[in-house]
Structure 1
Amino acid sequence: MYLGKADVNTYDKGAGREFLVSNGRGGYGFSTVIGANTRREHGLLVVRPENERQHSVLVSKIEETVFDSNKKYQLSTNRYRDLVYPDGYRYLQEYQGNPFPTMLFVIHSILLKKSIFMPHGKECTIVKYELLAAPGKIRLDLRPLFAHRKNSEVCLDSGKNVFSVSSDDAHGICVTGRGHSSCCAATAGTWALKPLWFENLIYEQDDNSDGACVDHLWSPGLISNEMSEGDSVYMILSEKAEKFTLKELGEIESEAAQRFEDILEQANIPAFSSAEQDMVASSYHLVDDRPESIAPIYTGYPSVDTKASDTFIALPGLLLATGREKTAAKTLKYWSGVAESCGWAMPEKLSDDGEPEFGCIDCGLWFVYAVDKYLSHHAEADPDDRKRLTKALFAVTDKYILGIEGLDVKCADNMLLQMLGADPARYWMSAVAGEEVVVPRCGYLVEVNALWYNALKCAEKYAQASGNAESAERYKNAAEKCGKSFCDTFWSCDMNGLYDYVDPETFKGDGAIRPNQILAASLPFSPLSPEAAQSVVRLCWNTLYTTYGLRTLDPRHDKFKGRSEGRLDQRLKARFRGMAWPWLLGEFITAYLKYNPTRKDLGWVFMRPFNSHLRHGCLCGVAQLFDGIMPYRPHGDVLSACALGELLRVLHENLEPDE
């Protein structure tokens, strides 16, 4: 990833491109390439304190100032109510993203390089400044700005005695306030403690509030360095005091660079293009693969949550396509243990105290999908792992046959899964705006039953493989009945596609064209005939396909809302009434190539727009969702596990070059 002067020579261009670094355990540094924070979640050091569900921004940014020959050059950029000041983006010559974010500032014949990286597994961000060229000595002043707030909030006003600062050595300080503490240290320089408030900073990119977000940040002072050509200084931002020698910092920097190379090397995708390499490298941020961790897949950034359905959807791309089979096995074993503790009903997530929180009906069905992907992909899987995961697959499938009261779902006599009640939390299109359910559904849901048919066929497959003929026959008969009922219930001759849901009382279907039906064509086992599946693909292509995903509603529908704009409730409605989701595009590409295997050229046509997207927004990341109409702006998580995972899966499963 390289950006030149023309890519960052205005505030809007620079502020529209964001970088992300992470420590492999959910802590991150996130800002724009010009250093202007445009979201509440932006910050150089953002961590999740113990026993808290939400991340906190500890250190927001660093104000950098260069002094040369009695002239002052401010390299920082901030957006205030009425102006942009300073305008340090004017000195930014280039940005490079690999192996980690690096900016080059040019002031006449002064070349100052800034690099940002995080040590693996530590709540710590390191910023390195290198003076590559200078006609003589310069002075570099570095002033850290502290927030100490949750990443969904802002400080409404500045105040006295909110923060306190202490120091136990010449190069480091510790700041305490607002229930947090954080540290800032440098490898050289002299601190001058001159407290200062930075007031009325504007975060103009926030999607989650009804007004502009105005923040107030505090700085305890600045550290000054006299530098000559070839000199370097490191700033260490951390939750707890960290002391590194220059040698250790050099080793940490080398390790951070080597991680990038290792991720590319172990991937099962050839990654010939820079865009493919960038996507593979970005998968690092979403996977906690520490030996002592439970190996969760994070939902994305800046949400950094852990959800079962997101994990199982993203796993084939984030883990199997990138060569992390051991991490995939550990993740699936962890979730199988969670399901077993809940009587084989799969929760959506676990609370901080370990209690299961049930959500979507289909979490367990996505688990079966992910287990099948893993076992099919990894023929050399450990026999004990294979046995344990196969047992879990059978148990989860059998649980659905019996019905799951806690999930409000039962298996009807026609072998379709029926949602009892109309709780929107039971399906993924779950937004509620005010008191209005954005997508009211009930009864038989098309994506749930497509996944259910796939689960029954997977159970039949593994029962046969294990030599259990009786169970295999039972699953086979159930799948045949489910498949027939699926076609009889969901097929709509009028739209030549599938109803989104069908009310079991009236057997009337919802005539709105939605993308959930694509799963009936894309999953490994489809209840549809090839002709019907191709009709579903054609319907989704003609009515729902956009550059970056499938729309959540036919644009001809009277409730269609294609852009995220207006009040908060209107933006919530747009998410499932017209905005486009990239993870659904992955399913669409798979479905298309499943029935048109000679048209990989079109598969690449569907993928190529992301080459451009990777150079805007969060660099090298794929956003969670996009406007469903022009100008197709990204929204939600700037790096989404489901979106990135699905694109990587398509690259691995559907678009890998022929031998």
Structure 2
Amino acid sequence: MIDLRFGPQVCGDVAAGTAREWLVTDGLGGYATGTVGGLRTRRYHGLLVVAGETPASRRVGLVSLDAALLFPSGARVRLGAHEWASGDVDPRGFELLERFDLTDGLPRWRWRVGDVVVERELAMTHGRPCVAVVHRLVSGGPVRLDLAAVCTWRDAHGERRADGPDPRVEPAPGGAVIESAFRLAGPDWTPQGQWWLGAHHREEAARGLNPDEDLWYAGRFSGELARPGDTVSVLAWAGDLAQEPPPATEVVAAARARNRRVVAAAKPADPVEATLALAADAFVVDTATGPDVVAGYPWFGAWSRDTMISYEGLFLCTNRADEGRELLRAYAATLSEGMLANTADTGRVEYNTVDATLWFLHAVSRHVTVTGDTDLGDELLPALHGVVDAHVVGTRFGIAVDPADGLLTQGGTPGTALTWMDARVYGVPVTPRTGKPVEVNALWVNGLAGLAELTELAGRDAGELWRLHGRAAAAFRARFPAPTGWLHDVLDAPAPAYPLGGAAQHDDDLLRPNQLLAWSLPNAPLEPDEPTLRRIAAGLLTPLGPRSLSPDSPEFVGRHRGGPAERDGAYHQGTVWPWLLGPYADAARRAKMSVDDLFVGIEAHLTEYGLGSVSETADGLAPHGATGCPFQAWSVAEVLRVRRTGR
């Protein structure tokens, strides 16, 4: 594992300490997360955030445990940290931190007050919504430790106000039950019951969202730290409230041991791969239907496109193929009219992507190729043939094979954005990409070849699949190269001067990274092309990955910042996407280009934003500040995959 350790100059500075976030997960979609300095900057920050029926339907429970040291002299020193709507930051316990470290994936804070040093460790129980917080006296003492339990019970995407009903707090052995939803247990519980008004989240303010909420001070735990080695611990858990978890110190020890096993099972080649392997573990969750993938923390749930792009990195590169097999089987069961369900964060099962199903074909093919699991290939073969048949005759949203050239077209429905570039502003797609997108057709050519190979492995005739593949590949090679020296992003798109469905069409030659799949996929339609890839790199490549649009385009937006409309407008108009390092590295290697230095920036990034993980996005302009989710599945998965396959 790489060294993730920060001293007082980072921990004690508001800006530096809040720029870096940590994450611990429970294997169910719930988590604990916050900043290095302990100041909550997001509505999603908390010590017990519980997943509901889906990973996306989370609720925040235990917000914080505000520590205070009581000395024999009567002096009281507060170690917590909050920002308020007034602009005040009080208390400022981060100024007493001498170190924060992330060891075996678990956060640890170390406060010093004179000769008294206290450490806090935090862990969650895998497979249960339970957090354990252990405080240990390292030196000095005696001293008494008070822990204020600051609580709420609300949707993770919202806030709760004091003008509503007070949270219900009922006594329970060693503590209390809050809202009949989660339980607190620790030493010497004293009920309180008081609203703390106007807690402020600076990151939500920066994102143009409501930044303030009110918090409930439910009560206080207290314990004596008489000599070095003494501990004071608190547990918080949801689910079966009557079943008490193991002691907090055992929860921490078990989590540390499990994280080490996860890393060892992945057989990493170096500390960076070890760090990425543990980061990957956070996204693999157990649900009522079996294994699934959280697209990103702290706000995303499961999305089929993200899951399938991430599949090889999360499952095959970490020796979790058995879990992956069950996931692929479960997703296959959602196929309808040849399309994979996109179980979005709305909680509804929607069929609204043109590429998720094609990524599914790719994931199944890679699973069988890497593992030799031909039984799964045979089992899913009828469903996969059904996908191709449905696309040939046509399915939802005008998705169909064009009989004129064998390429796949999509769109024709106003307001739809079906590719991965699917952002909307006030309901209007920013990049509808109606027509024949380049990566969709690269995936189509790749999927047909992969399915043909699976069909032949099963001893069946694949002649028709190879015919479809040959025709589509030939049309791809003939039509996608543009006079600009790279590939068209979309063919047969509605001309800008015409409404959707108008007679006039054009071929969009904006420089975007989607074309990388034309060289990167196992059965890519194009041969390696170093000059073209160098042109693409010159226009798009940054230290954290390719931009989504070249800076010389009039539509380029260099900062992924501001309110929802501003951010969505920039999302695919120049914003950097680290997951695209995967396709770029594959394409470059096939062209015999060196990528030895490609990951220097992203490896340094592991210490800059979501600690030990890779962000969703970054600004298109220097210094390429990270944006979006600090912990993103496909970013981690693709970086891990291409580093491993490059060995």
Which residue number corresponds to residue 231 of structure 1? 230
Question: Is 1:375–1:386's contact at 8 Å kept on the other side of the alignment?
Answer: yes
Distance 1:216 1:356, change over 3 A: closer
Which residue number corresponds to residue 509 of structure 1? 507
Which residue number corresponds to residue 336 of structure 1? 332
Equivalents in 2 of 1:313, 1:459: separation in Å? 17
Secondary structure, counterpart of 1:184 in structure 2: strand
Secondary structure, counterpart of 1:571 in structure 2: helix
1:448 paired residue among 440, 459, 474: 440
| Counterpart residue identity of residue 197, structure 1 | W
1:499 paired residue among 476, 489, 492: 489
Mapped pair 1:368 → 2:358: no
Question: Is 1:552–1:578's contact at 8 Å kept on the other side of the alignment?
Answer: yes
1:359 paired residue among 334, 347, 352: 352
Distance 1:650 1:419, change over 3 A: same
Matches within 5 A, 1:140-151: 140-151=145-156
Mapped pair 1:402 → 2:402: no
Which residue number corresponds to residue 485 of structure 1? 475
Equivalents in 2 of 1:103, 1:351: separation in Å? 33
Which residue number corresponds to residue 6 of structure 2? 3
Question: Is 2:262–2:277's contact at 8 Å kept on the other side of the alignment?
Answer: yes
Distance 1:88 1:243, change over 3 A: farther
Question: Is 1:236–1:242's contact at 8 Å kept on the other side of the alignment?
Answer: no
Distance 1:83 1:305, change over 3 A: same
Mapped pair 1:281 → 2:290: no
Which residue number corresponds to residue 549 of structure 2? 553
Compare 422-431 and 475-484 and name the one that shifted more: 422-431
Secondary structure, counterpart of 1:36 in structure 2: coil
Shift of 1:369: 0.6
Which residue number corresponds to residue 475 of structure 1? 465
1:457 paired residue among 446, 449, 456: 449
Mapped pair 1:349 → 2:343: yes
Shift of 1:591: 0.8
Which residue number corresponds to residue 500 of structure 2? none
Shift of 1:462: 2.1
| Counterpart residue identity of residue 621, structure 1 | S
Shift of 1:207: 7.3
Which residue number corresponds to residue 127 of structure 1? 133
Equivalents in 2 of 1:254, 1:399: separation in Å? 51
Distance 1:427 1:160, change over 3 A: closer
Equivalents in 2 of 1:511, 1:356: separation in Å? 34
Question: Is 1:67–1:73's contact at 8 Å kept on the other side of the alignment?
Answer: yes
Secondary structure, counterpart of 1:426 in structure 2: coil
Shift of 1:568: 2.7
Distance 1:561 1:51, change over 3 A: closer
Equivalents in 1 of 2:467, 2:598: separation in Å? 38
Equivalents in 2 of 1:209, 1:529: separation in Å? 42
Mapped pair 1:59 → 2:62: yes
| Counterpart residue identity of residue 255, structure 2 | A
Distance 1:104 1:125, change over 3 A: same
Normalised by the length of structure 1, the TM-score is 0.91
Shift of 1:618: 1.5
2:196 paired residue among 195, 198, 201: 198
Which residue number corresponds to residue 13 of structure 1? 16
Distance 1:370 1:223, change over 3 A: same
Shift of 1:337: 1.8
Instruction: Name the Cα RMSD after superposition.
Output: 2.3
Shift of 1:496: 3.5
Equivalents in 2 of 1:426, 1:497: separation in Å? 20
Q: Which runs of 5+ in 2 are unaligned?
A: 495-502
| Counterpart residue identity of residue 144, structure 2 | R
| Counterpart residue identity of residue 323, structure 1 | N
Which residue number corresponds to residue 25 of structure 1? 28
Shift of 1:53: 5.1
Distance 1:410 1:244, change over 3 A: closer
Compare 487-496 and 437-446 and name the one that shifted more: 487-496
Distance 1:14 1:244, change over 3 A: farther
Secondary structure, counterpart of 1:86 in structure 2: strand
Secondary structure, counterpart of 1:295 in structure 2: strand
Secondary structure, counterpart of 1:580 in structure 2: coil
Equivalents in 1 of 2:8, 2:297: separation in Å? 27
1:264-301 deviations in whole A, cap 9, x for unaligned? 1110432x12x3222111111100258x7511011110
Question: Is 1:60–1:145's contact at 8 Å kept on the other side of the alignment?
Answer: yes
1:505-558 deviations in whole A, cap 9, x for unaligned? 555211211111111111111212333xx3442232011111112111111111
| Counterpart residue identity of residue 236, structure 1 | L
Question: Is 1:409–1:419's contact at 8 Å kept on the other side of the alignment?
Answer: yes
Mapped pair 1:97 → 2:102: yes
Which residue number corresponds to residue 607 of structure 1? 599
Question: Is 2:543–2:601's contact at 8 Å kept on the other side of the alignment?
Answer: yes
Secondary structure, counterpart of 1:384 in structure 2: helix
Shift of 1:483: 1.1
Question: Is 1:35–1:61's contact at 8 Å kept on the other side of the alignment?
Answer: no
Question: Is 1:410–1:418's contact at 8 Å kept on the other side of the alignment?
Answer: yes
Mapped pair 1:154 → 2:148: no
1:590 paired residue among 571, 586, 592: 586
Shift of 1:623: 0.7
Mapped pair 1:185 → 2:179: no
Distance 1:622 1:386, change over 3 A: same
Compare 96-105 and 362-371 and name the one that shifted more: 96-105
Compare 90-99 and 309-318 and name the one that shifted more: 90-99
Equivalents in 2 of 1:464, 1:240: separation in Å? 48
| Counterpart residue identity of residue 489, structure 2 | Y
| Counterpart residue identity of residue 153, structure 2 | H
Question: Is 2:368–2:376's contact at 8 Å kept on the other side of the alignment?
Answer: no
Shift of 1:495: 3.6
Secondary structure, counterpart of 1:609 in structure 2: helix
Shift of 1:425: 3.1
Equivalents in 1 of 2:570, 2:54: separation in Å? 34
Shift of 1:212: 5.6
| Counterpart residue identity of residue 147, structure 1 | T
Distance 1:639 1:567, change over 3 A: closer
Which residue number corresponds to residue 211 of structure 2? 213
| Counterpart residue identity of residue 228, structure 1 | A
Shift of 1:562: 1.2
Distance 1:246 1:412, change over 3 A: closer
Equivalents in 2 of 1:195, 1:46: separation in Å? 21
Shift of 1:332: 0.8
1:79 paired residue among 71, 76, 83: 83
Equivalents in 1 of 2:457, 2:164: separation in Å? 70
Question: Is 1:111–1:131's contact at 8 Å kept on the other side of the alignment?
Answer: yes
- Identity across matched positions, percent: 26
Equivalents in 1 of 2:555, 2:641: separation in Å? 33
1:446-487 deviations in whole A, cap 9, x for unaligned? 11111000011112222333332xx32222221111012112
Question: Is 2:200–2:211's contact at 8 Å kept on the other side of the alignment?
Answer: yes
Distance 1:216 1:604, change over 3 A: farther
1:307 paired residue among 303, 306, 310: 303
Shift of 1:435: 4.7
Equivalents in 1 of 2:479, 2:238: separation in Å? 56
